[in-house]
Chains A and B, each alone.
Chain A
Amino acid sequence: MKFIAEIDIMPLKSLLDPQGKAVSQSLKKIGFHEISHVRIGKHITLEIESDSKEKAMERLNESCHKILTNPIIEGYSYTLHEKKEDH
């Protein structure tokens, strides 16, 4: 079976996110006074071949720990759904 994963990677809350801070300030400057606390992360989509959803999740977690994220500075979450093959 083939699954599609959508992974969100965010800097940990305890960390300063200078990019988010700069965008926050810029938004205020152009009139979006009601917007604050912008934090910017990464979004990764990928396909994964696996016998089951459980196995796919296990491999996905492994890949996140090994390379896709750095646990010292980032947290992640994802959604996983089966890919419907086109006919």
Chain B
Amino acid sequence: MSTETSDVCSLLIVDDSRVSRMMIRAFVLDKHPNWVITEASSGNEALTVVDQKHFDYCTMDINMPGILGTDAAEQILVKHPHLRIAIFSANIQEVLRTRAADLGAQFVAKPVTEKSVNIAISFFKAGRV
């Protein structure tokens, strides 16, 4: 196991797939066992949760019941501009990559693997001073 850092950070995982949430959680905790992780199963739920708790980072799926993850990310960033968001998407077309970049988020192509989660983690850490 490659535990890297002792920083305590809070991460919100947003995905309607329980399996995807489990996988992101497992890969993140493998590297950062002390990160505090919260899960939400829709963009709408994420919007509620971010107003109740402080988060440093967020992984956001796109295709979910209710609002699209990209729209949820946009709304979250208006209220919480410090939050670094990685958008995990099975839809890998250019238009979605551009949309993520326009929001200032990191686009990460699914499937959820150690490699894709590491892309998100590097993006999260790059924003820390």
The finding on whether chains A and B are genuine partners in a shared complex, rather than unrelated, reads no
By a beta-carbon cutoff of 8 Å, the part of chain A in contact with chain B is: none
